[in-house]
Amino acid sequence: MTLDMKLQSARVNVYNNENGNSYTVVKHDDLWICDCESFKFCIEPKSCKHIERVTGMLWEIIPDNEE
């Protein structure tokens, strides 16, 4: 039996031990958003290292079958 899973929404807090900064990464449907400065000034495709870190960890748990 196989199960198809899709992550529809998520909210993850990312904490940087080196500088003490904390960022929030949010997913709603197919849109990922981060409240860091890099994301705000990023040109398409919108992303940042915090989103990449969160999605990388999530896809180890839930394979990305949407591709």
pLDDT tens string 9-61: 889 999 988 889 999 999 988 899 999 999 999 888 889 999 999 988 887 77
Contact 61, 12 (CB under 8 A): no
Q: pLDDT value at position 62?
A: 65
Domain locations along the chain:
9-61
Q: pLDDT value at position 22?
A: 95
Q: pLDDT value at position 67?
A: 44
Q: pLDDT value at position 64?
A: 58
Q: Per the confidence metrics, is the pTM higher than 0.85?
A: no
